[in-house]
């Protein structure tokens, strides 16, 4: 039996191509999961209550807790921002991106995007039911809410949706600038939506932090799987073959 050369095939070749990036991604994924587990245990023990309530109170006028700090237009703007993390907007965004990828002949990525987002939404619902933390009542809510508080559904589902879409779509783009912009836009939307929930008084800060950790970890896991098993280059090659030679 002949020995395999330590080239670009087999385990040595895989490590040569993926080791630095994959090790960093696996480390980030592990850190996100561990931080979420730690936050969950602290929340269940009630250790974060003083910290959470102090921040909620700091965002309201001391003379009237129903009035948030800042100019009047800011509250209206924050309500608009928080709607970007609602089920209707996220479902529409996911559907449009999935259709776009199907039309772009990237069927494997399109189906993986859809499965990743739906799976993340299901995980968010399960975590909420499992922890069952009541909503904050120290300040009046500025929007109507009904479900449990931890983790923040808006924070987690927006992270699942926007980060997953950004990570997977960026892998189909040929230019570094567009890839960086796509991921940065997903991160910015996720952070803004999560922060809006605290400002509106419907979530504790640790609810949002837990949602970010769980959602980002899910998106990162999906990115790792997609990078390992789905080849945008091969998909693009098939698209070019289907469409014929490009115009010169």
Where do the structural domains in the chain lie, given as residue ranges? 26-56+72-231
What's the pLDDT score for residue 171? 66
**Average confidence (pLDDT) per 10 residues, the chain, 248 residues:** 46 47 70 85 86 91 87 89 88 88 84 86 88 86 83 86 77 75 87 91 90 87 78 46 43
- CA separation for the pair 35, 160 (Å, rounded): 17
What's the pLDDT score for residue 177? 79
Cis peptide before 151 (omega within 30 of 0): yes
Query: 150 by DSSP, 3-state: which?
Result: coil
What's the pLDDT score for residue 241? 45
CA dihedral over 153, 156, 160, 166, signed as positive or negative: positive
Global pTM reads 0.76
Neighbours of 140 (CB within 10 A): 15
């Amino acid at each position: 039996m002949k020995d395999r050369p330590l080239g670009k095939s087999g385990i040595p070749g895989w490590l040569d191509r993926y080791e630095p990036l994959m090790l960093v991604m696996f480390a980030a994924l592990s850190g996100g999961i561990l931080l979420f587990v730690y936050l969950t245990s602290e929340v269940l023990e009630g250790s974060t209550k003083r910290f959470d309530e102090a921040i909620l109170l700091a965002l309201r006028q001391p003379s009237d807790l129903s009035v948030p700090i800042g100019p009047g237009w800011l509250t209206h703007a924050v309500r608009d921002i928080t709607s970007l993390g609602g089920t209707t907007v996220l479902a529409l965004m996911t559907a449009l991106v999935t259709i776009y990828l199907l039309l772009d002949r990237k069927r494997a990525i399109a189906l993986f995007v859809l499965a990743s987002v739906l799976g993340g939404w299901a995980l968010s619902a399960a975590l909420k039911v499992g922890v069952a933390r009541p909503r904050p009542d120290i300040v009046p809510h500025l929007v109507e809410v009904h479900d449990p508080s931890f983790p923040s559904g808006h924070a987690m589902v927006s992270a699942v949706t926007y980060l997953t879409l950004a990570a997977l779509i960026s892998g189909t783009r040929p230019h570094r600038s567009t890839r960086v912009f796509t991921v940065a836009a997903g991160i910015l939307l996720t952070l803004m939506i999560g922060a809006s929930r605290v400002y509106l008084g419907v979530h504790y800060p640790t609810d949002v932090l837990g949602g970010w950790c769980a959602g980002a970890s899910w998106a990162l896991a999906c990115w790792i799987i997609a990078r390992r098993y789905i080849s945008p280059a091969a998909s693009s090659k098939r698209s070019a073959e289907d469409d014929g030679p490009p115009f010169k």
